[in-house]
Amino acid sequence: MYPKPNTHYRVTISYESLPHNKKFFVVLVTGSNSGIGEAIVKLLAILGAQVVITDYFEVRNSRDFTGKVVLVTGSNSGIGEAIVKLLAILGAQVVITGRKETEIRKVSQEVLRLSPKGLKPLEVVADVTKTKDLEKLMSSTIKRFGKLDVLVNNAGIGVMTTIRDKDFITNFDNVFKINVRSGLQLIQLALPYLDQSNGTIITTSSIASLRPGKSPIPYGASKTTVDYITKALAVELGPRIRVNAINPGYILTDELVPFINPDRLSQLIESTPLHRIGQPLDVAKGVVFLASNYEDVKNSRNFTGKVVLVTGSSSGIGEGIVKLFSILGANVVVNGRKDADVQKVVQEIQQLSPYKLKPLGVVAD
């Protein structure tokens, strides 16, 4: 059950009621992105809780995915579950898939309640390591919806093993089969439909591809491979199909629980700039951003009344930044060393501004 928007809840927690003798417990905290709710989340996390943040309703107007069809592998739990829930509340038609039918059914019922138009998701039980299951997954999607706009390769596993373990090579092969091969094969199956929709491919990678550790060699190596494949496919398939990956750090999911204890969890929280561990919804928001087109971005933020100063904005990346901020309603300052370049961008920006706001042009070195 999800909290209704604009509804207040009273929760009383006594110190004696906290499960001190339990290794992990699950707590749902609404309004936990700031203030008292945020403080409760931090305290409970330090005590070993798996805190679930469900502020999907807070971003329900940030994008409009009405009419879009999104297939997310591994969407019966964890990060994938958060992705389909967020996309559903934004209006998308989603495909929920995984190996466990009971989990798929549970997520499907929750997604149906979140969908503003009551769109029923497609449920497909599939093992991504099996070619026939991948073919069934794609054919079922097209049969039901007639198209595909976004493919999210999210299914993956991690195995803690070292080179000295006798089963190291077996584990290595299994990890690559799920984390690398299955995604590539599904992309092949999806390409004809993504070509038609000018679609998007997004893969869940990991910070493990950038920060090696001594035990998860198969996992880190698989994610490094995913990163390379993403870059290569972006070159090969663009600009018709956009290809991106997201590299999360530690994300609080059921899959993470067996690998960390409360002390380690507390260390992770303290080591992050925001002093909190990542949530599946954090990754889901990144996926939604990457799946968005230009019109989605333009209509998703309001910078009216904001003043934005971007150095080096008379050309290149800086020019692109000030133009986007201007479209979103901000007053912008265009800066560069060449007056002609500055004035050219100033004139273009004034035309882009929905309120025809004239930027301030400053020639400066």
Catalytic residues: 219
Among 135, 62, 66, 64, smallest CA distance to 97 is for 135
Give dist(CA 71, CA 96) in Å, integer: 7
Q: Which two tokens stand for residue 50?
A: 């798996």
What is the number of other CB atoms lying within 10 angstroms of the CB of residue 311?
Answer: 12
Give dist(CA 118, CA 114) in Å, integer: 7
DSSP state at residue 177: I
Task: Report how far apart the first and last C-alpha atoms of the chain are (Å, whole number).
Answer: 57
Query: How far is residue 252 from each of residues 39, 210, 276, measured CA to CA in Å?
Result: 17, 20, 10
Among 207, 212, 227, smallest CA distance to 272 is for 207
Q: Strand pairing of 49-53 and 25-29? A: parallel
